[in-house]
Structure formats: structure tokens, C-alpha cells
Amino acid sequence: MQGNGNKSGRIRFKTLLVRGAILVFALVLFVFLNNTSLFSQRPAGKPKILAHRGLAQTFDIKGLKWDSNTASIIHKPEHAFLENTLPSMRAAFDLGADMVEFDVRLTSDQQLAVFHDFLLDYRTDGKGLVASFTMAELRELDLGYGYTADGGKTYPFRGKGTGLMVSAEEVFAAFPDKSFLIHAKDGGETVGRLLTALFKGKSSEWLGKIGVYGDHDTMMVLKSEFPQLKVLSMQTLKRALISYILLGWTGYIPDSMKNAQIHIPLKYARYLWGWPGKFLNRMDSVNTRLVLVAGDGKWSEGFDTEADLATIPDEFNGYVWTNRVDRIASSTKFRRNIDKAESCIDYIEQTGKLWGVSEVTVNDNQTVTMVDATHGGAGCGLTMYDGAANFVASLTLTVGQSVTLSDGHHASLQYTIKSIGSGSAEIDVLERFDARSFGRGITEKRGIVKVASYKGLDSSPKPVK
């Protein structure tokens, strides 16, 4: 009897062991299938360039400390621009930056000066704290006074930076339609209140192009006033990443990662559930802006060379932090070479503009208005039709509605609005070419793209078929 009992116990143990193994295998399989990018749709669009402080002078980060005078250790200058100035921002945008980052400091007369250091001594001919000067006084300083690449033997920018310090308000006035990331270097309620005043009355489309990071209390003041605004503090970042690490394997996206601004070094991003493709699709689905930085994220290291860019996954469609927009903007990683577009979808991904549509407006009422490219630009030979096949010169669409462009013979494009939010629209593109009269049948290509408001089309050197 005892032998039978032992045998029965062994059988039960083996049964439990087998069931446990099956359960573990099933769990591992679930986690793998739920987070692998092998079977997921490729994220829409190409990566975008975030130019740190515009086009700035660079320096060696080895041995850098929090209070290092970086103006005194710059590399030999390769251009004439100084960080955090209107000319440097304009140069960055002209080179191809999609977004520019700049710093703000609180002045004695309660304005936000665009400047990085808390001391004036390092870069300028002024002495003391930024907070001790009025905005008018700061404008009189020479922003290029302290820059040297040879230990103080020469100062190549001395005398060339007078009058270049501006306020945040002047930045927005100079570039009303551009995207910016603002680093609030001074924290507290006052800075939050001043930024709130700057943002009051702005459209949701404009706010969708803006991000702010810095002191947590300041970010919370802004978030309470503008829930749609993307903000980042060390607390919000930790909360988002910890929550995702704990729960993301299930496919669940914590609220802390929704409509958020997330900055993460590539070396750590690799360990996020679903990286790269599935994770990026998850972030796109909750309108979160992802910024990829180099190094460990401590000293604003950027992707500044082609070799740096080669480490970024091909699927990545977020923002790439760089200190050298002048070096990387022409890379094929980004949407610059429209002459190499092999399809309409390629063109859209490379330019951010719809083939055959000269103007797109993402409206505040959750609609998108498209204007037919009748006079020039890529795709100007196509005719626009509404859902009832009526010819139209322009059309306003809601989510789920479509517009068709056709040459009347072989080529057609259908744009269907999938979602609208934060100043951009996600559009399902169906590209169709009927070559049966040439004996080649019908070919179709489909893709999902994101497009923001724009006016005017680029000309393509060769037709896209």
C-alpha cells in the first residue's frame, strides 16, 4: 500500500511539474509574441532631428563637471554661430532640424532670457548671476566674449555677440510655426507662471509642437494649465519608465507614458519591452514624443556623426538629439533626399508632405483640410475627388473619411484619416498603379504616415510611380 502511495505521489509530482513547465513556456511565449517586433507593423515615418541649442559650438565632454566652463574648451570653430541665439536657431532649421531645443533663465524683471548658464562670467563680458540683471541689461552683453579653443590665446567670437541675447517671447515671435523644446533651467512657480502666460491663447496645434522639461514643480504648473502639453521632469521620467518596465510586457501602457515627453539614452532603450518597433508603435498610439540621446544622458550627448546614426535602429521614428545638425541633416536616416524617393509613400516619409496636396491644415476641431496641388509641386498632375467621386479643389475630412487623387488613367492615391491629435494627423495611404494596359497588372502599396500642417510642396526631380 505504501509503495502504491509513493508511486501515486510521484505521478502527481510529475504532473504538477509538467503543468508548471507548460505554464512557464506559455508565459514566455506570450511575453515574446507580445513584445517582439518581428510581426509588428513598421512604425510610420522617419526619425526627426532635434537640434540642441540650435547650431552651437561644441566641446569635449571628457572630465566635464556640472560647473565646467564649456566656453573655454570649445573645439576649433567650424561655423560662426553661438548657442541659444536666433541666428543659430534659424541656421538649424534651414539645415533641416525638425525641432530646436533652447534654455531659459529667469531675469530680475521677471522675464525668461534664452541662456544656458546661471552665471554670466563664462560666456559673456558680464559678471554675476543672470537672475540679477534685467532683460534690457542682458541684451547689452557680448555673448561671444568668453569662447576660446586654444586656452585663451584667441577669442574668435569676442565682439560678435552683442545684442544676441533674446527672450523666449522673441523666439516664438521669430519662428511662429516652428517646433521647440524648452529647458527651464530655473525652477519654481514663477517660471511656471511666466511660461503659462506665454502659452495662453495658443492653439492646440501650436502647443502640440512644443515640449518643456526641467523642475518638477514647474512642469506640474504647466501640465495643470495645459493637459495636452508634453512635459518632462526627472520624476515624470522615472515614474513612466518604472511603470512600463513593470507592466509593459503585458502590452499595457501606463498613464504616465501617455501624451508624454520621454528622453532616453539608446543604451537603455534597448531594454524596453517591445523595442524597437512594437515599443515605438505603442508610443505613437498614445501620442508620446520619444527623444533618443547618446551616451548615458548626463551631458547632453548627441548623435553627431554618421557612425553615431548607424547605431539607431532603422525602425526608429522619434526625435534624434544632436549637437551637430550641420553634419547629420543630409544623412539618409532623415527625410532629406527626395530625389531618391521610389514611391509616393517614400516621398511623404522623406518630406513630411502629401503627394499631390499643396496645403494641409490640422484644425483645432479634429478635422484636416487638404488643398489640391493644381499649380506646381510634387503630384500636381493629379485631380482630387471626394468620397462621392466629385471633383474638389479642397476638402475637409474627419477621422475615417477619405480623399482620392487620380491622374484619370493609371495612378491613384487614397488618403484616409486614421487619427488627429497634437497638431498632426495619422493618415492611411493607399498607392495604386494600374498597368494592365502595359501587360503588367495592378500594383498597390500601403503605409501609414504622420503629417503636420504645411503650405507649399517640394518639387521632385523625377516623377514618383
Question: Which class for 172: exposed (0-12), middle (13-18), buried (19 or more C-beta within 10 A)?
Answer: middle
Return the C-alpha cell found at 128.
Answer: 554675476
Domain end: 294, 328, 362, which one? 328
The candidate with the shortest Cα–Cα distance to 430, out of 408, 448, 418, 442, is: 448
Cα within 13 Å of Cα(279), Cβ side: 22
As a residue count, the chain comes to 465
Residues 230 and 358 in one domain: no
Question: Which class for 196: exposed (0-12), middle (13-18), buried (19 or more C-beta within 10 A)?
Answer: middle
Residue 342 pLDDT: 65
Question: What distance in Å separates the CA atoms of residue 93 and residue 51, rounded to the nearest whole number?
Answer: 8
Residues 136 and 170 in one domain: yes
pLDDT, averaged per 10 consecutive residues of the chain (465 residues), comes to: 65 85 90 87 88 96 88 96 97 93 98 97 98 98 98 97 98 95 93 96 93 96 96 96 95 95 96 95 95 89 94 95 93 62 79 90 94 73 86 94 87 93 88 77 88 74 34
DSSP state of 25: H
CB-based contact 228:202 (threshold 8 Å): no
Provide the domain limits for residue 406.
Answer: 339-455
Indicate whether 462 belongs to any domain. no
> Residue type at 364?
D
Residues 4 and 89 in one domain: no
Indicate whether 147 belongs to any domain. yes
Indicate whether 460 belongs to any domain. no
Residues 284 and 157 in one domain: yes
Residue 437 pLDDT: 66
Residue 334 pLDDT: 80
CATH code of the domain covering residue 308:
3.20.20.190
CB-based contact 266:293 (threshold 8 Å): yes
Indicate whether 237 belongs to any domain. yes
What are the backbone angles phi and psi of residue 337, rounded to the nearest 5°?
-95, 80
Give the position of cell 502640440: 208
- Stated as kind and residue range, the H or E segment containing 445 is strand 442-452
The candidate with the shortest Cα–Cα distance to 374, out of 405, 411, 348, is: 405
CB-based contact 357:392 (threshold 8 Å): no
CB-based contact 178:101 (threshold 8 Å): no
Residue 240 pLDDT: 96
CB-based contact 230:207 (threshold 8 Å): no
Residues 315 and 343 in one domain: no
Widest CA span of the chain, in angstroms?
102
Indicate whether 258 belongs to any domain. yes
Question: What distance in Å separates the CA atoms of residue 158 and residue 451, rounded to the nearest whole number?
Answer: 42
Q: At what angle do helices 216-225 and 189-199 cross, to 10 degrees?
A: 30
The predicted model scores a pTM of 0.74
Q: How are beta strands 230-232 and 210-214 bridged, if at all?
A: parallel
Q: What's the number of domains the chain is made of?
A: 3
DSSP 218-231: HHHHHHHH-TTSEE
Residues 237 and 98 in one domain: yes
Question: What distance in Å separates the CA atoms of residue 237 and residue 143, rounded to the nearest whole number?
Answer: 33
Residues 300 and 171 in one domain: yes
Give the position of cell 514647474: 218
CA distances from 165 to 42, 120, 168, 219, 360 (A): 43, 12, 10, 24, 34
Indicate whether 273 belongs to any domain. yes
Residue 424 pLDDT: 87
DSSP 327-347: HHTTSTTSTT-GGG--SHHHH
